[in-house]
Amino acid sequence: MAKKLVIKVTAGADAPERCSQAFTVAAVAVASGVEVSLWLTGESSWFALPGRAAEFELPHAAPLPDLIESVLAAGRITLCTQCAARREITEKDVIEGVRIAGAQVFVQEALGDETQALVY
């Protein structure tokens, strides 16, 4: 089993099942003791903002705010630099604990030893 999991979620409310799957896998991995780095890109970028996850609804899925809280408790959440800029999101706007970083950092994390990368 990989000791680190890097998950890039590109979907938001536009593809709710894919979005929920990414956050669920990240939260389950954290609960299983795996080091997790969850990347918010594309439409999932909005979930870096306070209150936005509470607006997300998907029947029979765990609440997105709970999943985000679980990942932040023992993992890392990163908002893509370009995605943030396109949405005029700055570091002062995001949930506490969310960082903004670019493709170079994503590639570095994804290519780390004993790392598995997933894209949703």
Rounded to whole angstroms, the Cα distance separating 98 from 77 reads 5
Contact assessment for residue 120 and residue 10, using Cβ atoms and an 8 Å cutoff = yes
Tokens 């780390």, located at residue: 112
Number of domain units in the chain: 1
* CATH number, residue 67: 3.40.1260.10
Kindly report, residue by residue over 60-101, the tens digit of the pLDDT: 999 999 999 999 999 999 999 999 999 999 999 999 999 999
Query: What are the Cα distances from residue 73, in Å, to 21, 43, 69, 81, 103?
Result: 19, 23, 6, 22, 24
**pTM, whole model, 2 decimals?**
0.95
Residue 41 domain boundaries: 4-119
